Amino acid sequence: MRLSTILIAVGLSVAPSAAAAQKPPAEAEAEAQAAPASPEEALAEMQAMVERFRADLLTPGEVVPGWNAGGADPEADLRRLGAEDHYFVTRSEEEGTTVGIMTTRRIADFAPGNWRIVDSYGSAVDSLDNPSIDFVRLSPRYVIASRGNVVRRDNIQCSDRIGHAYLYEVPGAPASENDDMAPLFFRIALLAQEGQTICSRYEGDAQSGWRLQVLLPDGRSLPQLTDASERLTIVEAAPIDRLLSE
Residue span of the structural domain in which 7 resides: 3-245
- The CB-side HSE value for 156 (13 A sphere, CA atoms) comes to 26
> What backbone phi and psi angles, to 5 degrees, belong to 168?
-105, 145
pTM of the model: 0.86
Domain count across the chain? 1
pLDDT, tens only, 197-231: 999 999 999 999 999 999 999 999 999 888 888 99
pLDDT at residue 41 is higher than 70: yes
Residues in the chain: 246
pLDDT, tens only, 86-140: 999 999 887 788 999 999 999 999 999 999 999 999 999 888 999 999 999 888 9
pLDDT, tens only, 42-76: 888 888 888 888 888 889 999 999 999 889 999 99
Beta bridge partners of 153: 156
